[in-house]
Amino acid sequence: MKTIIEPFRIKMVEPLRLTTREEREAILRAAYFNPFRIPAEAVLIDLLTDSGTAAMSSEQWAGMLRGDESYAGAKSWYRFEAVMKELTGMPHVLPTHQGRASERILFELLGGPGKVVPSNSHFDTTRANIEHSGAEAVDLLCEEGKKPRLRRPFKGNMDVARLEELIQKVGPQRIPVVMMTVTNNTGGGQPVSLENLRAVRQVCDRYGIPLFLDACRFAENAYFIKLREPGQHQRSVRQIVRDMFDLADGATISAKKDGLVNIGGVLLMRDDQLAQRANNLLILTEGFMTYGGLAGRDLEAMAQGFLEVLDEDYLHYRIRSVEYLGEGLLHAGIRIVEPPGGHAVYIDAADFCEHLPPDQFPGQALVCALYRHAGIRSVEIGSVMFGRIDPSTGRMEHPPMQLVRLAVPRRVYTQSHIDYVIEAAAEVYADRYSIRGLRMIEAPPVLRHFTARFEEI
């Protein structure tokens, strides 16, 4: 059958507040044209992020009630540890309050001035934590990943030849770790193939460099491998997930994505000495190593969520529902990063707002237009998030793509909600030349997209 239904029933509902265009105009201006500053209750459809926005299952809520809140050695910790070891094969499991806490610990230990950390594409907090340590974050996305309308199965892959060139240029002693983001969030939610992971692993082995995964969306990536990679169709997602982790020396995970929870993260490692140092830092900054800044109930919900995310009926619904959104936008004439990603659809804002130059932040302008017109909140992934000033010239350097990400929360919205988003985007597109550019009037030096202020030009 063509119809893809949600593989669950709804037991609880949360009302949505309907606002008028006049109300949204005032809210947008009060927020200085930054969606992160808009109160959630004033948002109708919230596609700002898929991080921590999932609806938890009845089994997860039951686990929350069973949570053991003992300070050390709680049974909830042992259940969580057992699940993570079984799924990933990693001997050292450190709980953290979210993914960026795992990144901070890892790069406080491995980063530092003079170090270089390559990736297929670093996302915002990963890059920020690397650079905060004094190291340099380098993106080595494959060429097809830079072409929004080119349809290829694994546009999130790393350019392996460029990785080897970088290692030879700077020297392996300056590269403490290679990171692979699965799926590639910055690159449009595109997956990474097992073949590419193996090729990167071989390069790392030749030079003695550890390989870590930024594995926030590991299950979605594994499902794409099952669908698209030759020889993988008959294998289970769980088997493919284990293959992915077996190729790595460690991983950072935000459980707020494929863990299907509202808070929580994980740092996984194989190296005993590195794990001991990380445990010491965890105790100093997060909490004891059997809770890592989380409550026992959070550990229970994470353990259950990491099992539920491997359900292939769920993953079929998840990937197909995001694809449905992408197909609807394409049918309306809106160009997106193709094919649609696993957790989000990325609108090509440079094409949508072709009348706006990068200096006027076309992605941010489109984000504001979607909220103004229909109460839809999204996020810019372009010059606001990744633009930077060249210290030698003083000029703004723009990323290769200007995108707007529509990130779909897991198990939250129905097809009618998605149909509303498609219809609203089509209406904004029909009147796209009325969208005004923006000027940044205030911003912090790091992760500026969270709190920057803008005004319309």
Per the CB < 8 A criterion, the answer to whether 235 and 226 are in contact is: yes
State how far the Cα of 378 lies from the Cα of 371, in Å rounded to an integer.
8
Confidence band of 445 (pLDDT split at 50, 70, 90): confident
Confidence band of 13 (pLDDT split at 50, 70, 90): very high
Per the CB < 8 A criterion, the answer to whether 346 and 399 are in contact is: no
CATH 3.90.1150.10, applies to 21-50+312-456: yes
pLDDT (0 to 100) of residue 393: 75
418-444: average pLDDT: 96
| DSSP result, 372-432 | HHH-EE-EEESHHHH-EE-TTT-PEEPPS--EEEEE--TTT--HHHHHHHHHHHHHHHHTG
Q: At 55, which amino acid appears?
A: A
Per the CB < 8 A criterion, the answer to whether 289 and 94 are in contact is: yes
133-145: average pLDDT: 96
For tokens 């633009």, what's the residue?
Answer: 387
Residue 454 pairs in a beta bridge with 440
Mapped onto helix, strand or coil, the DSSP state of residue 192 is coil
pLDDT (0 to 100) of residue 435: 97
206-234: average pLDDT: 97
311-328: average pLDDT: 96
Cβ partners under 8 Å of residue 78, min gap 6 = none
158-166: average pLDDT: 98
pLDDT (0 to 100) of residue 417: 96
pLDDT (0 to 100) of residue 400: 84
What is the crossing angle of helices 362-374 and 415-430, to 10°? Answer: 120
Per the CB < 8 A criterion, the answer to whether 125 and 100 are in contact is: yes
Q: At 31, which amino acid appears?
A: A
User: Exposed, middle or buried, 301 (CB in 10 Å: 0-12/13-18/19+)?
Assistant: buried
Cβ partners under 8 Å of residue 415, min gap 6 = 321, 324
pLDDT digits (tens, 9 = 90+) for 97-110: 999 999 999 999 99
Confidence band of 447 (pLDDT split at 50, 70, 90): confident
| DSSP result, 226-245 | HHHSTT-TTS-HHHHHHHHH
pLDDT (0 to 100) of residue 186: 87
Give the β-pairing of 396-397 and 116-119: unpaired
Which stretch of 8-22, 357-371, 441-455 has the lowest confidence by average pLDDT? Answer: 441-455
Task: Calculate the dihedral angle through the C-alpha atoms of 395, 146, 347, 405, rounding to the nearest 10 degrees.
Answer: -80
pLDDT (0 to 100) of residue 334: 98
Rg of the chain on CA atoms, in Å: 21
- pLDDT surpassing 90 at residue 390: no
CA atoms within 13 A on the CB side of 295: 12
What CA–CA distances, in Å, run from 419 to 136, 197, 299, 332?
A: 42, 36, 35, 12
State how far the Cα of 368 lies from the Cα of 452, in Å rounded to an integer.
14
- pLDDT surpassing 80 at residue 163: yes
For tokens 């059997």, what's the residue?
Answer: 290
Which fold does the domain 58-308 belong to in CATH?
A: Aspartate Aminotransferase; domain 2 (3.40.640)
State how far the Cα of 124 lies from the Cα of 185, in Å rounded to an integer.
10
Average pLDDT along the chain: 95
**304-337: burial string, b at 16+ Cβ within 10 Å, e else:** bbbbbbbeeebbebbbebbbbbbbbbbeeebbbb
Domain boundaries, the chain: 21-50+312-456, 58-308
| Phi, psi for 128 (deg, rounded to 5) | -65, -40
Which stretch of 82-96, 309-323, 369-383, 393-407 has the lowest confidence by average pLDDT? Answer: 393-407
Q: At 388, which amino acid appears?
A: R
Short-list 178, 244, 242, CA closest to 205 = 178
218-232: average pLDDT: 98
pLDDT (0 to 100) of residue 159: 98
Task: Check: pTM over 0.75? Answer yes or no.
Answer: yes
